[in-house]
Structure 1
């Protein structure tokens, strides 16, 4: 028996960089470095742990939708230990929102073949956290989301979801979609051997025509959501300095009260 795991990953702008909007109010990706979304590293890690603990043959494929530079995210996942990668790239994808992204991912997952889809809980740029559920709906399979623990056995996936007041044990028959949180286990650091091996692992390139998707279904034209306006964040102003000459406590209290902090 074999198990086919597809891990969806995203190439995101570096949160420590100076990010800007382009003229069409999409993120100007040429103006900032990108990287594999940190939350997706947990998804890759859990897929690899499932593969390592299984007695069956397991193939781990990483899938991303994004510009040419998104290959860097795939290479990072491959260097961690994934077997192969799929990159969906098309100029008409520019401006695609979460709804459109879920369509592209679902079509690519169907084309690749799968038993289990593993995703991070959200991307570190959009942070919507809805794509795993949308993909599951499009694929017509069960979803088990926000897991801090995940395992596969006897044709089913199971795990623990931690809430504010209680934890749940959940399970679903395969095929299924799961998402994992940043509490699921620290992601491994790629070894030098893994980095070198990643250079030889296959990366398939697909575009919209390969997936049977029309340009009008995605991109800015097909987006269900859009940014209406954006403005630069105001520059930081100098703070208020309170000199304590016997009335410092009172002045501080008045300042906090004026800002409605107390």
Structure 2
């Protein structure tokens, strides 16, 4: 079985900054890591690979520096890594990203099982995985929290929904987006790190994928950030101390009283 995992390299910080000119994220000078939820997808793929004769490929779209994330994936247990890198890919929204990923998958021939994380920490949209599956014309199952059985012709999984859980059996090819509850990702081994150091990271650009510049990157993105506002927090604080302490307590009780009455009712 051929397995593919979609990986994304994300900023290793919660303080994400945006370029006010084009609304894209500023990545220069910021440390990066593999998107945490993608690690759960990778772990799922590695476990399936270890259960039989399966081939595991990881793919990421990003700048040349994203090669580091792919080497980490190889150190964890992936067989092969592909980096989609081209300046023309810059500024892509989820649609343009999915189009680029699906082009690579279509070019390489069908994969039986494609796995992705539920969402990326830098965007929180959860759209790239399902959009990629839709563009490929394969079934998509989201919010997968458990892989129950991996058969020769299909896979049985459990997915989380608002009012409980659902069990699905679906034939290959299929794309699964997994939640953090599906497993606990492993750490790379010393042997794996040695393998990753000398591994060949295959690189593909827009020409190799046969994509027109108008359909990828910022030009091919139908969604745009048109305005950026920085939230402003304003607080009015009153400090009561010393002889004013009793007055402060009374004031606090008066402020809380309406809420306590509502909760009591």
Structure 1 residue 105 corresponds to structure 2 residue 101:
yes
| Count of residues in correspondence between the two structures | 256
What is the match of residue 170 of structure 2? 172
Cα distance in 2 for residues equivalent to 1:139 and 1:230: 34
Structure 1 residue 134 corresponds to structure 2 residue 142:
no
Cα distance in 2 for residues equivalent to 1:230 and 1:258: 37
What is the match of residue 88 of structure 1? 84
| CA drift at 1:242 | 5.0
**What does residue range 1-262 of structure 1 map to in structure 2 within 5 Å?**
3-16=1-14, 18-22=15-19, 23-54=21-52, 57-113=53-109, 114-150=111-147, 151-234=149-232, 241-243=239-241, 245-254=245-254
> Which structure 1 segments of 5+ residues have no match?
none
Cα distance in 1 for residues equivalent to 2:43 and 2:16: 28
Cα distance in 2 for residues equivalent to 1:242 and 1:29: 45
CA contact (8 A) 1:83 1:201 kept: no
Q: Which structure would you say has the larger Rg?
A: 2
> Which structure 2 segments of 5+ residues have no match?
none
Change (3 A) 1:169 1:207: same
Change (3 A) 1:236 1:183: farther
| CA drift at 1:209 | 0.8
Q: TM-score when scaled to structure 2?
A: 0.88
| CA drift at 1:116 | 0.8
CA contact (8 A) 2:240 2:247 kept: no
Q: TM-score when scaled to structure 1?
A: 0.89
